[in-house]
Amino acid sequence: MLRWILGGREAQGSLEKSSVLCIGEEQPKNWFTELQVLKGHFDIVRFLVQIDDFRCASAGDDGLVLVWNVETGERLQELRGHSQQITAMTTFSCDDGDTTHTSLLTASSDRSLSLWDPDTGNRVQTISDLQSSVKCLLVLERLCVFVSGGGELCVWNKDFQLQCHRPNHSDTGITALIELPKNCIAAAMDKEIVIYRLTVSTDTSISVAEVRCLSDHQDRIRALINVNDGLFASGSHAGELILWDAIEWNIMAYEHILWEESQACTQAEIRLAAPKPSEMSIQHLTTNGRHILAAVGSGLYVFSVLTKTVVAYRKAAHDSNVLHTMLLSDSELMSCSEDGSVRMWEIQDLPLSAEPASSGFFGMWTFGRANKPSAPPLKKVVDVPNIRMLELTGDLIGHSGAVQMFVSFRENGLVTCSTDHLLILWKNGERQSQLRSLALFQKLEENEEL
pLDDT, position 168: 77
pLDDT, position 93: 87
| Residue 447, pLDDT above cutoff 50 | yes
pLDDT band, residue 96 (cuts 50/70/90): low
pLDDT, position 411: 86
pLDDT, position 187: 97
- Is the CB of residue 118 less than 8 Å from the CB of residue 51? yes
- Alpha-carbon gap, residue 2 to 396, rounded angstroms: 9
Q: Which of 419, 415, 414 is nearest to 401 (CA)?
A: 419
| Residue 247, pLDDT above cutoff 60 | yes
pLDDT, position 263: 41
Looking at per-residue pLDDT, the higher value among 119 and 433 belongs to 119
DSSP secondary structure, 396-415, as one string = EE--SS-EEEEEE-GGG-EE
**Which of 39-53, 81-95, 231-245, 266-280 is predicted least confidently?**
266-280
pLDDT band, residue 203 (cuts 50/70/90): confident
| Residue 373, pLDDT above cutoff 70 | no
pLDDT band, residue 284 (cuts 50/70/90): very high
pLDDT, position 30: 85
pLDDT, position 367: 31
| Residue 283, pLDDT above cutoff 70 | yes
Segment of 20-24, 94-98, 444-448 carrying the highest mean pLDDT: 444-448
pLDDT band, residue 359 (cuts 50/70/90): very low
pLDDT, position 428: 84
Identity of the residue numbered 188: A
DSSP secondary structure, 101-128, as one string = EEEEEEEETTTEEEEE-TTT--EEEEE-
Report the chain's mean pLDDT, rounded to a whole number.
83
As a whole number, mean pLDDT of residues 128-145 equals 92
pLDDT > 70: what percent of the chain? 80
As a whole number, mean pLDDT of residues 337-359 equals 72
pLDDT, position 170: 73
| Residue 10, pLDDT above cutoff 80 | no
Cα separations in angstroms, 19 against 16, 23, 362, 364: 10, 9, 13, 10
As a whole number, mean pLDDT of residues 305-310 equals 93
DSSP secondary structure, 231-243, as one string = EEEEEETTSEEEE
Please state the pTM of the whole predicted model: 0.82
**Which of 9-23, 159-173, 256-270 is predicted least confidently?**
9-23
Segment of 96-110, 140-154, 432-446 carrying the highest mean pLDDT: 140-154
**Which of 52-61, 160-169, 403-412 is predicted least confidently?**
160-169
As a whole number, mean pLDDT of residues 20-29 equals 61
Q: What sign has the CA pseudo-torsion 312, 321, 2, 72?
A: positive
pLDDT, position 209: 94
As a whole number, mean pLDDT of residues 304-314 equals 93
As a whole number, mean pLDDT of residues 251-268 equals 63
As a whole number, mean pLDDT of residues 78-92 equals 96
As a whole number, mean pLDDT of residues 357-378 equals 34
pLDDT, position 277: 53
* Residue 411 phi, psi (nearest 5): -70, -15
pLDDT, position 14: 37
Strands in 299-304's sheet, in edge-to-edge order, are 282-287, 291-296, 299-304, 309-314, 388-397, 341-348, 332-337, 322-327
pLDDT > 90: what percent of the chain? 64
pLDDT, position 369: 32
**Which of 10-24, 191-205, 389-403 is predicted least confidently?**
10-24
Q: Which of 281, 275, 306 is nearest to 294 (CA)?
A: 281
